[in-house]
Structure 1
Amino acid sequence: METVIIIAVIVAFLAWRMMPTKGVNNISTAQLKTIINDKDKVFVDVRTPGEYKARNAKQFKNIPLGSDFTKLPKDKEIVVICQSGMRSKQACKQLKILGYTRVTNVRGGMSAY
C-alpha cells in the first residue's frame, strides 16, 4: 500500500512539473526562427556560460538560471531558451512571479534548434 501511495505522489509531482505555466506562451524552434530578429523582443539563454559558449544564437543574451532577472525590461516580450526547454520553463515561471507579463518559452531548446 505504501508503494502505491509513493508512486502516486511521484506521478502527481511529475505531472505538476510538466503543466504549462499560466500566462507563458510556448513556441517551437521553427516559430522562433521567424521572430529571432525582432528588435521588440529580448532573447535570454538561461544555460550555463559553458553551454552558451559552446553553441548559441547571437540574438540571445546569456543570463543563467538563478541569476537576477529584474534588470530585464518589462515593456518587451522576453523569449527564453535553454538546452531542452526545462530550465527555460523554470525561468519563465520566475519571470511571471516577478511581474513580467509577456513571457515566451522555446519548447525543445537548443537541442531542437
Structure 2
Amino acid sequence: MLINVILIAVIVLFFVWKLMPVEGVHNISAAELKERIHQKGTQFIDVRTPGEYRGNHIRQFKNIPLFDLSKKMDALSKDKEVIVICQSGMRSMKASKILKKAGFQSVVNVKGGMNAWY
C-alpha cells in the first residue's frame, strides 16, 4: 500500500514538474502574438511537423520541427528574441526549454499555440 502511494506521488510530481514554466521563458497569448507578429529582429519558429505546418501556418514563422531543433538551432541567433509556437503549446514549451538551456537569451512560448490563434 505504501509503495503504491509513493509511486502515485512520484508520477504526480513528474507531471507537475513537466508543466512548470522554465525560468527565463516567457509565455504570451495568441492575442499578444498578434500585436508582436511584425516585430523586427524577432525569430519566429513553428516546431510542428512539416505536414502540420503545410496544412496551416502563420506566414512569419519558420518551420523547424521539434525533432530537428537540436540540429538546426545553430541557424538561429542566441541574442535575438525567439517566439515559438506549435499546435497546442506543449511542444513549443518543450522547444522553449531546449532553447533556453542552449543559451538563448529571450525565449517566448505562445500559450495555446495554433489552436488559440484562430
TM-score range, shorter chain: over 0.9
Q: TM-score, normalised by structure 2?
A: 0.92
Counterpart Cα distance in 2 of 1:96 and 1:62: 19
Q: Which runs of 4+ in 1 moved over 3 A?
A: none
Q: Does 1:76 align with 2:77?
A: no
How many pairs were matched up? Answer: 113
Question: Aligned with 1:70: secondary structure?
Answer: helix
Cα deviation for residue 102 of structure 1 reads 0.7
Counterpart Cα distance in 1 of 2:90 and 2:74: 21
Coordinate RMSD, CA, aligned: 0.8
Counterpart Cα distance in 2 of 1:13 and 1:70: 30
Among all aligned residue pairs of Structure 1 and Structure 2, give the percentage whose two residues are the same amino acid: 56
Q: Does 1:91 align with 2:95?
A: yes
Q: In the alignment, what sits opposite 2:32?
A: 31
Contact 1:42 1:76 in 2 (8 A): yes
Unpaired runs of 5+ in structure 2? none
Q: TM-score, normalised by structure 1?
A: 0.96
Cα deviation for residue 58 of structure 1 reads 0.4
Unpaired runs of 5+ in structure 1? none
What is the one-letter code of the residue matched to 1:88?
A: S
Question: Aligned with 1:73: secondary structure?
Answer: coil
Contact 1:40 1:76 in 2 (8 A): yes
Cα deviation for residue 32 of structure 1 reads 0.3
Q: Does 1:40 align with 2:41?
A: yes
